[in-house]
Amino acid sequence: MAKGIEELLPKLKKNTSQADLDRIRDAYECAQKAHEGQKRRDGAPFISHPCATASIIAEMGLDTDSIVAGLLHDCIEDTELTYENIKERFGEGVALLVDGVTKLGKIPYSSKEEEQMEDLRKMFLAMAKDIRVILIKLADRLHNMRTISYLPIEKQREKALETMEIYAPIAHRLGMQKIKWELEDLSLQCLDPIGYREIVEGLEAKRSEHEMFLEHIKDKISQRLEEVGIKAKIDGRVKHIYSIYRKMYAQNKNMDEIYDVCAVRVIVDTIADCYNVLGFVHDLYKPIPGRFKDYISTPKPNMYRSLHTTVIGREGIPFEVQIRTFEMHHMAEYGIAAHWKYKAGVTKQDGSENEFAWIRQLLEGQQDTDAEDFIRTIKVDLFADEVFVFTPKGDVINLPAGATPIDFAYAIHSAVGNRMVGAKVGGRIVQLDYQLKNGDIVDILTSKETYGPKRDWLQIVKTGEARNKIKQWFKKECREENIQRGREEFERELRAALLTNAFADEEIKTAVLKRFSFNSLDEMYAGIGYGGVTTTRVLNKIREELSRYNAKQDKLDPEKLITTRKAKTESSGAIIEGVDNCLVKFARCCTPIPGDEIVGFITRGYGVSIHRKDCPNAQSSMRSETEKDRWIQVKWNDGSMSDHYMVGMQISCKSRVGLLADIAMVFSNMKINVHEMTARDLRDGYTVISLMIESTGMEQFELIANRLKRISGVITVSRSLMENR
């Protein structure tokens, strides 16, 4: 058996069952066989890499699935083994982890400005639905960085930059200080070998000095703690190289001018002891004002907890003291990974989203955010409502989950969206309603000929930005078309809702337009046309206004007493001054026909009712205080003479047998439609016949009347006025 597994197994013996050890050995054998013949750049068999990775994962304290996945992590990418093979042999959990790690490895990377880097980091977090995928990837990267010197220089720089910009910050966010520091130092060594060597040599030169300094402090503190009976573990250390490097750059100092490179850590059993130790340290050394930080009462957003203070030691040299419990210490070193260690055996861990509810809770309790916006990142993105995709050039575009290629196109530029004719994802044409996935590379196909978005895109897009830009386009680019489309849609819906009459009322119309801030009907049609307002909303408003009017005025409205009858007469035979396209109806009481002098009454919700000027109902209403303002000038439409109108006729006659037949014959010969006919006997053998007939106007009416008068027994023929209706 190779050296790899021999190193790994002892680390596991303590907390791992025999069954788990068997699985791990099985995974090792599987990986070894799959990678057979492959070599690392340093000449070692490839299997040494997955073994080292698994070993780091084991050190983090992760579960068996993670260790197994660590051993297999390069198999899907670099060997014959498939997802299915792994699933079959090691279960779906392991297969998903390996698959996740493989996908993370495919995120294209190139150095960019900070904002882009931030999105790239978020994508990393979002892509790994299971946090263990990230931890495995970090372990993988850590081992690759440890062995980076075998890569060509150019590759080294590339990997180091990526590590510095993506992996180290992610380790920081997950609270994994130990890995973060190591990644930073390894990267720095590649990125600025001279600067790195300067610090290493500077530290080396002062090594004994530092050691003595730290020894002295440790002795002094431990002596005092022993006196008061506090058990503590005291570590002295020199800060990691990258933190010194950053300090030199930030303060523009050279190595000799950086004093506080030493730090002491006191680890105790209880939180109470932390504060006790702090008191003794401040008693022994003079604290620098403003440098005390209590991350126990207010943990850092990445869950880090400790007391920090900087004090002055011998010869005025400052040093930092960190005080924490053993549990806090483990958390500080391993961050999120510590979760497994502390919860191990309590519940079954699967790393799924629900498992991390505790992180969310923890984070939500923390209002005090660190400079690094950890809370936002974790809360919004690790449990993601967002999706991160690439342009073909490798820029990251951040969109809400469920976003489509159309959203993507408009996120780039409205001109791209407006010219879009299709989209490719990963080189393949997709439907426009395709839901983008993390890491997709999206290519928008545009055309100069077919210019403009489609109206149904409004139903597809997910972002407000895309929706607004599409609406904007329709608003601007095709006003005429919008008015036309809006009018058609509106009138159709209006008819279907039986509200045509209501909307013809000026007061209701005005109120509705005002409600939506439209200055004209055309504006409203345009609004409906481009989707700025829906017909449903307008109709609801009309209903609302209508019921308000009805409630107020119903009982007073004489028009309500008139039976409306659907007939041809509802066509717009009358023109109303200053109002076009208004519903017109002819009053049944006086049945006006062309040739009559007419007036119009604006009804509440049913258009304009036309009366004869001499109609008694009209006359009395025009005198009424509350109604006189509703009467308006109207005149006959010149082109309306061929229309038929209902008109009331009254015939007085001397009764005889066959009279009604003779009268009916006249109508029949003249092709006049008769709608109603009632005969009422008066005394002395006289009869009054009332009819409702259709006529084109006064001229025809007179013609009919003359024919009727020729019938024996007919005395008078006149228009009827039905005052009681």
Q: What are the catalytic residues?
A: 77-78
Q: How far is the CB of 155 from Mn ion (least distance, A)?
A: 14
Contact by Cβ (8 Å): 641, 634: no
Q: How far is the CB of 455 from Mn ion (least distance, A)?
A: 49
The residues, any chain, with a CB within 8 Å of residue 306's CB and separated by 6 or more, are: 295, 296, 322, 323, 324, 328, 332
When CB distances to Mn ion are compared, the closest residue is 140
Q: How far is the CB of 134 from Mn ion (least distance, A)?
A: 14
Residue 65: other Cβ atoms inside 10 A? 24
Q: How far is the CB of 417 from Mn ion (least distance, A)?
A: 40
Residue among 127, 164, 294 nearest 241 (CA): 164
Specify the stretch interacting with Mn ion by CB under 5 A; choose among 136-144, 275-283, 465-473, 627-635: 136-144
- Of the pair 140, 694, the CB lying nearest Mn ion is at 140
Asked if 162 is part of the footprint of Mn ion (rule: CB under 5 A), the reply reads no
Rounded distance between C-alpha atoms, residue 128 and residue 552, angstroms: 64
The SS3 call for residue 266 is: strand
Contact by Cβ (8 Å): 282, 323: no
Beta bridge partners of residue 382, listed in sequence order: none
Q: How far is the CB of 59 from Mn ion (least distance, A)?
A: 17
- The secondary structure of the chain in percent helix, strand, coil, rounded to multiples of 5, reads 55, 15, 30
Rounded distance between C-alpha atoms, residue 287 and residue 320, angstroms: 10
- Of the pair 51, 689, the CB lying nearest Mn ion is at 51
The 18-57 contact track toward Mn ion, x by CB under 5 A, reads ----------------------------------------
Q: How far is the CB of 210 from Mn ion (least distance, A)?
A: 36
User: Which residues ranging from 219 to 248 are in contact with Mn ion (CB under 5 A)?
Assistant: none
- Of the pair 76, 384, the CB lying nearest Mn ion is at 76
For helices 153-162 and 177-191, what crossing angle results, to 10°? Answer: 140
Specify the stretch interacting with Mn ion by CB under 5 A; choose among 133-141, 288-296, 349-357, 717-725: 133-141
- Of the pair 74, 505, the CB lying nearest Mn ion is at 74
Tell me 366's DSSP state: -
Q: Classify residue 374 by burial, with Cβ atoms within 10 Å: 0-12, 13-18, 19+.
A: buried
Beta bridge partners of residue 681, listed in sequence order: 687
Specify the stretch interacting with Mn ion by CB under 5 A; choose among 138-146, 180-188, 670-678, 709-717: 138-146
The 51-90 contact track toward Mn ion, x by CB under 5 A, reads -----------------------x----------------
Q: How far is the CB of 38 from Mn ion (least distance, A)?
A: 12
Residue in this structure with the two tokens 């100069």, named with its chain if needed = 448
- Of the pair 74, 557, the CB lying nearest Mn ion is at 74
Q: How far is the CB of 137 from Mn ion (least distance, A)?
A: 9
Q: How far is the CB of 144 from Mn ion (least distance, A)?
A: 6
Contact by Cβ (8 Å): 21, 61: no
Asked if 355 is part of the footprint of Mn ion (rule: CB under 5 A), the reply reads no
Residue among 583, 604, 700 nearest 645 (CA): 700
- Of the pair 4, 600, the CB lying nearest Mn ion is at 4
Rounded distance between C-alpha atoms, residue 5 and residue 242, angstroms: 32
Reading phi first (left if > 0) and then psi (alpha if -120 to 50, else beta), residue 427 is in left
Which helix (H) or strand (E) segment is 600 a member of? Answer: strand 598-602
Angle (CA) 226-232-236 rounded to 5° is 105
Tokens of 495: 């008819």
Number of residues that bind Mn ion (CB under 5 A): 2
- Of the pair 73, 462, the CB lying nearest Mn ion is at 73
Specify the stretch interacting with Mn ion by CB under 5 A; choose among 4-12, 134-142, 205-213, 466-474: 134-142
Rounded distance between C-alpha atoms, residue 159 and residue 5, angstroms: 27
Integer CA distances (angstroms), 419 to 189, 406, 473, in order:
48, 11, 11
Integer CA distances (angstroms), 295 to 167, 273, 311, in order:
24, 15, 17
Asked if 140 is part of the footprint of Mn ion (rule: CB under 5 A), the reply reads yes
- Of the pair 58, 615, the CB lying nearest Mn ion is at 58
Contact by Cβ (8 Å): 194, 248: no
- Of the pair 136, 598, the CB lying nearest Mn ion is at 136
What does residue 352 show for φ and ψ, rounded to 5 degrees?
Answer: -75, 175
Q: How far is the CB of 140 from Mn ion (least distance, A)?
A: 4
Applying CB under 5 A, which residues contact Mn ion? 74, 140
